[in-house]
Amino acid sequence: LHHAKAAGRDTHRFYAEAMNAEAVAHLSTRSGLRRALERGEFLIHYQPQVSLETGAVTGAEALVRWNHPDKGMVPPGDFIPIAEDSGLIVPIGAWVLTEACRQAAQWHAQGLALSVAVNLSALQLQRSDLVRTVTGALSDSGLDPLLLELELTESMLIQNTDVVMDNLRRIKAMGVQVSIDDFGTGYSNLSYIGRLAVDKLKIDRGFVADLTRNHDSAKITAAVIQMAHSLNLTAVAEGVEDAETLEALRGLNCDFAQGYFLGRPGPAEAVERAARQVNPFKVGV
Ligand code: C2E
Ligand code: MG
Ligand code: MG
Ligand code: MG
């Protein structure tokens, strides 16, 4: 009995310590994030988006990274959820938007009319100052609104509050493009697509990745592309990792693609170099 009690205490202490460590890690990431904003530790990697018709790079997705002084490059999956919980995603997201617009305007000034896609968090879309932030990023950079694209997820459109609907209407009215990210993984209430005048569906890489091996994934991808086209939307495939998948997507008349096979996320200069090549990825050759 004595032993069992001691073991119980130890187990309890073990869990308490583990929880404490997690809470501390969370807190330190939280204060770390605040410091990172002040010290300029965030940076953006850009992943090229390629036209499946021409093989040309037509734009890039902005993907934030945290260059941590001790931990090195921290991927967004490790800090975006904490940034969302703490509300810090709002200033971080505003920074990403501003910086991505500046970069796309610079590309444009260099003769490259590349679009830039920026991921939004639910919290940003729920705030009444989103339109002001977007307008600010566009006017500071001088970027043509048509070259800015905002990526939302299906779950963000479920809470169709007045603020969210108003934000989307006003963003669309500026000429900014709107796409649905990770399409097919969320709560599939398709009624919002027509109503919200979305421009693009980005097919989740979960379907694209095993397209050539899994019959269901192939069927779903084909159906999403068909649906997009019948609604006058553009279809983008995420997560293209090999030539066979690329060919299959061309066969399905998918419009654009993104993925490691076409280019990993990296510095803006890599996108620039790829965009200057005549037939950068030898699509269809
Ligand atoms: P996402 O928007 O769906 O971005 C695509 C993710 O898939 C990126 O991961 C990208 O590096 C990865 N990816 C691209 N091609 C391939 C491929 O061929 N194979 C595989 N396995 N993966 C591929 P990353 O950069 O780690 O970003 C993860 C997520 O973090 C993003 O998913 C997005 O939801 C979020 N995120 C990134 N930047 C931001 C941001 O600035 N704001 C917000 N709110 N979220 C962001
Ligand atoms: Mg995205
Ligand atoms: Mg995605
Ligand atoms: Mg994703």
More reliable by pLDDT, 245 or 162: 245
Q: State the closest ligand 1 atom to the C-alpha of 241, by its place in the atom list counted from 1.
A: 18
Q: Are 150 and 171 in contact (CB under 8 A)?
A: yes
Nearest 5°: the CA angle 102, 105, 109 is 135
pLDDT in tens, 180-216: 999 988 776 677 777 777 999 999 999 999 999 999 9
Residue 284 confidence (pLDDT): 39
Give the largest Cα separation in the chain, rounded. Answer: 78
d(CA 143, CA 133): 14
Residue 1 confidence (pLDDT): 45
Q: Please list all protein residues whose beta carbon sits less than 5 angstroms from ligand 3, which is an ion.
A: 181-182, 238
Spacing, Cα 265 to ligand 1 middle (Å): 9
User: In the predicted model, what is the mean pLDDT of residues 115-138?
Assistant: 97
Spacing, Cα 46 to ligand 2 middle (Å): 11
Residue 194 confidence (pLDDT): 72
Residue 285 confidence (pLDDT): 36
Return phi, psi of residue 116, to 5°: -130, 130
Nearest 5°: the CA angle 163, 165, 171 is 100
Residue 281 confidence (pLDDT): 57
Q: State the closest ligand 1 atom to the C-alpha of 204, by its place in the atom list counted from 1.
A: 3
Q: State the closest ligand 1 atom to the C-alpha of 118, by its place in the atom list counted from 1.
A: 41
Closest CA to 260 of 184, 208, 203: 208
**DSSP secondary structure code for residue 266 in this structure:** B
Spacing, Cα 258 to ligand 3 middle (Å): 10
Spacing, Cα 204 to ligand 4 middle (Å): 7
d(CA 285, CA 283): 6
Is the pLDDT reported for residue 97 higher than 80? yes
Q: What is the mean pLDDT of the chain?
A: 89
Ligand 1 pocket by C-beta < 6 Å: which residues?
Answer: 47, 63-64, 75-77, 80, 89, 93, 96, 119-121, 151, 181-182, 205, 239-241, 258-260, 265
Closest CA to 137 of 163, 121, 116: 116
Closest CA to 203 of 253, 156, 244, 164: 253
Q: Which ligand is nearest to the CA of 204?
A: 3
Spacing, Cα 151 to ligand 2 middle (Å): 6
Which residue's alpha carbon is nearest to atom 38 within ligand 1? 63
Residue 24 confidence (pLDDT): 62
pTM of the model: 0.91
User: In the predicted model, what is the mean pLDDT of residues 246-251?
Assistant: 97
Q: Which ligand is nearest to the CA of 75?
A: 1
Residue 157 confidence (pLDDT): 84
pLDDT in tens, 149-186: 999 998 888 777 899 999 999 999 999 999 999 998 87
pLDDT in tens, 32-87: 999 999 999 999 999 999 999 999 999 999 999 999 998 899 999 999 999 999 99
Spacing, Cα 76 to ligand 1 middle (Å): 8
Q: Tell the residue number behind the tokens 């001691």, with chain if given.
A: 6
Residue 34 confidence (pLDDT): 94
Q: State the closest ligand 1 atom to the C-alpha of 240, by its place in the atom list counted from 1.
A: 18
Q: Are 46 and 268 in contact (CB under 8 A)?
A: yes
The residue whose CB lies within 8 Å of the most ligand 1 atoms, and thus the one to mutate among 116, 119, 236, is 119
Which residue's alpha carbon is nearest to atom 45 within ligand 1? 119
Is the pLDDT reported for residue 5 higher than 60? no
Residue 23 confidence (pLDDT): 64
Residue 11 confidence (pLDDT): 57
